[in-house]
Amino acid sequence: MLLVMDVGNTNIALGLYEGENLLIDWRAVTRQDQTADE
C-alpha cells in the first residue's frame, strides 16, 4: 500500500494505491485568506 501526496500552493492532493490500483483519492483546497499563524 502506498500513500502519495502532492502539496501545492492552492491544493493538497492525496491518493492511496494498492499496487497499480488507485483505491481512493482526496483533495483539499488551501485557504488564501488565512495568515500563517491562524
Structure confidence at residue 35 (pLDDT): 72
Residue type, 29: V
Other C-beta atoms closer than 10 Å to the C-beta of 16 total: 14
Backbone φ, ψ for residue 27 (5° rounding): -140, 135
Structure confidence at residue 1 (pLDDT): 96
pTM of this prediction? Answer: 0.66
Grid coordinates standing for 28? 483539499
Q: 4 pairs with which residues across the strands?
A: 15
pLDDT tens per residue across all 38 residues of the chain: 999 999 988 899 999 999 999 999 999 988 777 776 76
Structure confidence at residue 33 (pLDDT): 77
